[in-house]
Structures are given as C-alpha cells and as structure tokens.
A and B are shown apart, each in its own frame.
Chain A
Amino acid sequence: MTDRHGPERSVSVLGARGSVAGAAPPPTRGAVSQPTPARLFWRQFRKSPLGIAGGVLLALFYATALLAPFLAPYAQETMDRERFFHPPQRLHMRDAAGRFHAPFVYATTLENAGEFRFQEDRARIEPLRFFTRGERYRLFGLIPADRHLYGVDPPGRVFLLGADPFGRDVLSRLLFGAQVSLTVGLVGIAISFALGLLLGGISGYFGGWVDNLVMRGTELLLSIPGLYLIIALRAVFPVELPSQQVYLAIVAILAFIGWAGLARVIRGMVLSIRRQEFVAAAEALGVPRLRILALHILPNTMSFVIVAATISIPGYILGEVFLSFLGVGVQEPSASWGNMLNQARSLRVLTSFPWLLWAPGTAIFITVMAFNFFGDGLRDALDPRSLPGGKTA
C-alpha cells in the first residue's frame, strides 16, 4: 500500500531529522520573549495556502462523518425496492411554469423496469424539507434523535447522488461509509506508529540482538509486496465476519504492515541522537535507560513522525478501499468507500449507472489529496531547512 510513495518518499522525509521542537532554548526571564515552537510552526504553516485548504477540508470531512446520521436523509441499510439504480436527482428552484420555489426535486416514475430507467414527473413537486423527522438514530451513538438535515415527505424519496442496486441512497451510504473509511487510517496509524517508535527506538538505542531481531523482521515484511501481504494477512481472519470485527481486523492488518518502514527510519535517527551530549548527561545522572529513550530521545523525532504519519494516512485509507473493493473488507449491508466502489466493478453498472463509481471515487480522491496537501504544508512548516516543493522532487 505504500507503493505509490515508494522508497524515495521515506528517504526524502529523512531530511526532517533533528528539526526539533525540544531543541529550542527555553525562554529566559527578562530577555525578549522567544516565540514558542507552536507559534513558529503556525507562522510557517500559514504561508502554504494548499496546506491550509487541505486541513480545512479534512476537518470538514471528519465533522461530516461524525454527524453522518443527522446529515444523511436515510440509514445506510434502508432499501427501496421500487427504486433500484435510481439516478441522481437534480435540485430545482423553478418549476415547469417558471415559478420560484424553495429547493425541490421532481418525483419520478419507473419507465422501463428492465433497464431501471426513471422519468421525472414535471407535475409532481417534492419540496425538500429541512430538519425533518425521519428514521430514528443515535447521534454519536448516544443521543436518540429522529431529525435529519433534509428529506422529502414520505412516500417520496430523495436521491441526490442516486441509488445503488438495492435502492439505497448513495449519499447516505457515502456519509456512513466515511465513518469507516476515514477512521481506519487514523486508528491504524496510531497503532503502527506506536509500534514503530517503540521497536525502532529500542532497536537503535539498545542495539545488540534486539536490534538484529527487529531489523531482520522489518526486512522480512518489507520484502513482501504490500498488497500481497495485506491479502495474505486477511486470510488469517474468517472470510465472513460481523462488520465491527472486520473493522478491527483491517486495522490490525494495516498496523502490522505499517510499522516496519517507520521502525527503520526511527532506528537511524535514534542512532544519531544517542551520540549527543544530552543523552550522555542523562546517562551520567543515572536516569533509567527506557526513561531516557522515552523522554529524551524519542521526543526529538516527533516533528518527523508527525509529518510521516500525515503523509502515510492515505496509504491506510487506500488499504481499506483495496480490501473492501476485493470483497474481503467491510461487508454488506455496512457501507465503506471501498465496498461502494466494489458495486461499480461490473461493466453493466459502469456504463449504465456511473454515479456508483463517481460518488465514492471522488470522495476517496479528494480525501487523499487533502491529506497530501496538508502533509506537504506540515512538512514545510516543521522542517525549516526544506524549501517548499523542492523536498520530494
């Protein structure tokens, strides 16, 4: 899954080594106050409009995922047996006679049942209702509610992004799918980076047989092509799993793969940091070695780790997409961006119902791009020696 970012990526970010938050001298009383590292960071980050745009987009996406049950007009499983493959509806403000209305959609009738062709009925207006009552849900998994941002009066239906083969609202599934697809990367990266920091740190600081063992392990993992390793690891779990367990399984798989590359880089950084005087000083003072590693050495790798994590998250998101696309990830009826793409695999769907490709495809593309922009901005801000744009080139 890291193929796209290839070896050169991890090498290029190596340069971020030692651009250190902790290295700034503490502000001395009486002197002119030094800007804090956070302020320094912000001053740099502000200069990258794309980085800010990426960050804002991501904040928006995650908020959307959190509020999915409210924003979505229907639940992710809600089927409509009368409206399989219903095309996306256009929002109108003006009716056939030219009169203005609040936003509405036209009701549709099934014209050709064999080809799932629907025709707008210009005489029947379905006004969009805001904060309307609909299916019950629990907001944040806790607060019972039944208000939705928008909807139409039953028995009408609104499919702003179309419906899937089971007559489920694509927009609703996109929103619920975001809950899976967007968080898998965060949880996965948290686990794998914790592992990578720990193992890489121990390996670099203690050396000896531990070092040897860890490094041979990483070599092994890095020698298996990423997607093959993912799919082989998937075999460890039963093919059919309840959706929550699948989620955990995917996180476990991605975390297991991701730590190796990071551990190698961290090891290299620790090897150089441990020769510095403050480490010798701490050792001379008799500070326990694990404490030195955790409190003195590893914090010096943080600015690198933050950038590397941001840049790696898209790889994790695509890992979930890959597994679900192959049909061994998140299972129906739960939605994820990967299994929504899976519905678009057949030629018939691709040519006749292309919105099933566009909706999840665009969502994945924009998310990955937002992470890339955000990560690039972070790198420029956290690593003062890198020149904007010149870094990965």
Chain B
Amino acid sequence: MRTYVAKRLLQIVPLLLGIAALTFLLLTLAPGDFLNTMAENPAISPETLAAMRRNFGLDRPVYVQFLLYIGNLLRGDFGESFSRHQPVFTVLRAGVANTLVLAVAAALVTWGLAIPLGVWAAVRQHTWVDRVLSFGAFVWLSVPEVLSGLLLLLFAARTGWFPVGGMHSLDWDQLDGPGKALDLLRHLALPALVVGLIPLAARMRQMRASLLDVLRLEYVTTARAKGLGERQVVFKHALRNALNPLITLFGYTLGALVSGSFVAEIIFSWPGIGRITLEAILAQDQYLVMGAVLMASTMLILGNLVADLLLAAADPRIAYD
C-alpha cells in the first residue's frame, strides 16, 4: 500500500510538468502580452517597461523563458502576477482555499441528497416514487449550471433571503465568531447548491442501482428469512455494502466539483480560483493563468488519487502493491 501511494504520488510530478508545458505553450502562442497593453499607458515610463521585460525574461528566447519558469516552479516560485503586482502563489493560495470550501460544501449537498433519494428510489422500485425520481433526475441532467445559477441568483434577488454574491458581508470584520460562520454559510448556500446539484442526478441513480444489486444477494434473503424487519435489512445489512462502489465516486466527484465551481464562482462572485483564472485571461496575466490551471489540475488529480486510496481502504478485496 505504501509503495503504491508513493508510486502514484511520483507519477503526478511528470503529469504536472506536462500540464505546465502545455499551458506555457498555449500562452506563448497567445497574441500580445501584458507589457504591450501597459506600453499604451502614458503613465508608465519606457525604463520601467524595459525593467519589467527583463525581470520576467520576456526579452529572452521562448525556450529560455520556459526553462526559467519550470526551474522557478520546482523551487515553489510560481512567478509574479503582472496585473496584481503580487506573487502568483499569494493570489492563488486564497483562491484555492475558497474554491475548496465551495467544493466541499457542494459535495455535502450532492451526497446529502443523493444517498437518501437513491435509497428511497431503490426500496420503492417500480412505484411512482421511483419513476418520478428517475424521470426528474433525467430532466435535471439537462439543466445547464449557467441556467440553474442564474435562476438561484434571481431567487436570491427576489426574496432577499440570501446575499446575491461575494463571500462576506460588508460588516464581516465587526462580527464575532458565530456571526462570521453564519455569514459565511449564508453566502455559501446558493453557490454550493448550484455546484452540488450538478452531479446529483448521476449519483442518485448510482446509489439506487448499487442498492438494488445488493438487495438481490443471498445474504439479504437470509436476513429476511431470519425475520428481520425491512428497515433493518436495508439500513443495517444492505446499505453498507451498497455504499462501497460510491466511495470511489466520492473522490472523482470532488475533482469534478472543482471544475464545476467555475460557473458558480462567476455568477455569485465567489473569490475562487475560477474567477481568478477568468480575470487573469482577460488581463493576459500569463503566470497567473498558468499557476491557476496548474492548481486546478492538482486538485483534480489529487481527488482522483484520494478516490483510488479510499476504495483500497474500504474494500479489502483490492490490494495494491
């Protein structure tokens, strides 16, 4: 197990280097650069421009720029953000934390709804409950998050029950501990709902199918034959085994939620990494874009790794060496 983890972690390094190379290539192909835009600003002297060009290595051949970047990256230096005049790492650290908060909250929404609904549909198989849930899930698959996000934004604006964007209220600094938590939760609720509802339909159907598979097994029949109540059969005996395949999906979902939170971050002005990426692209802030894509990819890759490890931990039949 330990060697397996080590091997998987080592595989991540070339993958991340590849991603860095790909994004670097893409942004080198991009027309113009940030300094060209700055050159049109009369308030900035040519000397400053030349100095910046030198500092960022923009006067050197492309491959030297790339090697410089990778070298810095390996030392943990993500470069400077042109547009924010801050180290990229500082900008990203806050963004990654905010996106993770959103993704974890969204995962709670997904699983908190998917497991009970899936179980309900399974134990009521072939009834109208099952049919309505299945059809509803299928229809919900077709609602793009741009639409569900805007609808919830409209809801917030009309009712005034939830803030319409951002992460904190204006008086955040004056709030005490519980007040802060409550304020954060109120801001978090709608974006988490938007993101969390994306994978809900698929997860619910998986939960249903998995439980139905287990309910067909012989040990369940045995449990029923012993005279156990249906409630005990389902929740004590069947459900635990039925949850097993979903454990893997938990990690994958977490990765997918990072990508899924992009749109919600834009609509609800959540200061996460997706918002940072969009702003960086519009400002042609090369290093910030590369850093953000790297960070988002890292979260996705780690999510998948966690998925594999969780499965190994939960299912003794799977052995990695």
Contacts and interface: CB of A to CB of B under 8 A. Distances in A.
B238 interface: no
Contact of A235 (B19, B154, B262, B289): B289
Interface size, B (range):
35 or more
Contacts of A227: 259, 262-263, 274
Given A228-B296, A341-B150, A357-B150, A364 B144 contact: yes
A236 to B, nearest CB: 5
21 contacts: A3-B198, A3-B199, A8-B202, A9-B202, A220-B19, A223-B19, A223-B297, A224-B19, A225-B259, A225-B297, A229-B293, A236-B27, A321-B146, A326-B278, A341-B150, A345-B150, A364-B144, A365-B147, A389-B134, A390-B209, A393-B208
Nearest to B294: A224
A325 interface: yes
B30 interface: yes
Contacts of B192: none
Interface residues of A, number: 53
Interface of B: 15, 18-19, 22-23, 26-27, 29-32, 134, 138-139, 141-144, 146-147, 150-151, 153-154, 157-158, 164, 198-199, 202, 205-206, 208-209, 249, 252-253, 255-256, 258-260, 262-263, 266-267, 274, 277-278, 281-282, 284, 289, 292-293, 296-297, 299-301
Given A347-B153, A393-B206, A393-B209, A4 B198 contact: yes
Contact of B282 (A239, A344, A364, A392): A239
A227 B198 CA distance: 14
A350 interface: yes
Candidate in B208, B249, B263, B284 with the most chain A CB atoms within 10 angstroms: B263
Interface in A327-374: 328, 338, 341, 344-345, 347, 350-351, 354, 357, 361, 364-365, 368-369, 372
Given A225-B297, A228-B292, A321-B146, A392 B260 contact: no
A227 B274 CA distance: 9
B142 A347 contact: no
A216 B263 CA distance: 29
A231 B144 contact: no
Interface in A307-335: 314, 318, 321-322, 325-326, 328
B80 to A, nearest CB: 18
A8 B262 contact: no
A233 interface: yes
A345 B268 CA distance: 10
A238 interface: yes
B157 A393 contact: no
A224 B293 contact: yes
Contact of A372 (B142, B205, B263): B142
Nearest to A234: B281
Interface of A: 3-9, 216, 219-220, 223-229, 231-239, 314, 318, 321-322, 325-326, 328, 338, 341, 344-345, 347, 350-351, 354, 357, 361, 364-365, 368-369, 372, 376, 389-390, 392-393
B252 A6 contact: yes
Contact of B300 (A8, A225, A341, A364): A225
B273 to A, nearest CB: 8
A386 B32 CA distance: 52
A338 B267 CA distance: 14
A161 to B, nearest CB: 16
Contacts of A234: 281
Given A3-B259, A321-B144, A392-B205, A235 B27 contact: yes
Given A4-B198, A344-B150, 5 more contacts: A3-B256, A6-B199, A321-B144, A322-B263, A350-B153
A248 to B, nearest CB: 16
A83 B97 CA distance: 46
Contact of A232 (B142, B164, B208, B289): B289
Contacts of A5: 202
A228 B277 CA distance: 8
Given A236-B30, A350-B154, A392-B202, A224 B282 contact: no
Nearest to A357: B150
Contacts of A226: 259
A54 to B, nearest CB: 10
B164 A347 contact: yes
Contacts of A321: 144, 146
Nearest to A364: B144
Nearest to A393: B209
Contact of B143 (A219, A328, A365): A365
A237 B31 CA distance: 7
Contacts of B277: 228, 231-232
Contacts of B208: 393
Nearest to B266: A326
Contact of B252 (A7, A322, A328, A368): A7
A204 to B, nearest CB: 22
Contacts of A361: 147, 150-151
A314 B208 CA distance: 25
Contacts of B139: 369
Given A3-B198, A236-B26, A345-B150, A351 B293 contact: no
A336 to B, nearest CB: 13
Nearest to A4: B198
B296 A225 contact: yes
A357 B154 contact: yes
Nearest to B135: A50
A4 B293 contact: no
A232 B150 contact: no
A350 B144 contact: no
A225 B258 contact: yes
B301 A3 contact: no
Contacts of B282: 239, 328
Contact of B157 (A4, A8, A318, A350): A350
A4 B141 contact: yes
A341 B267 CA distance: 12
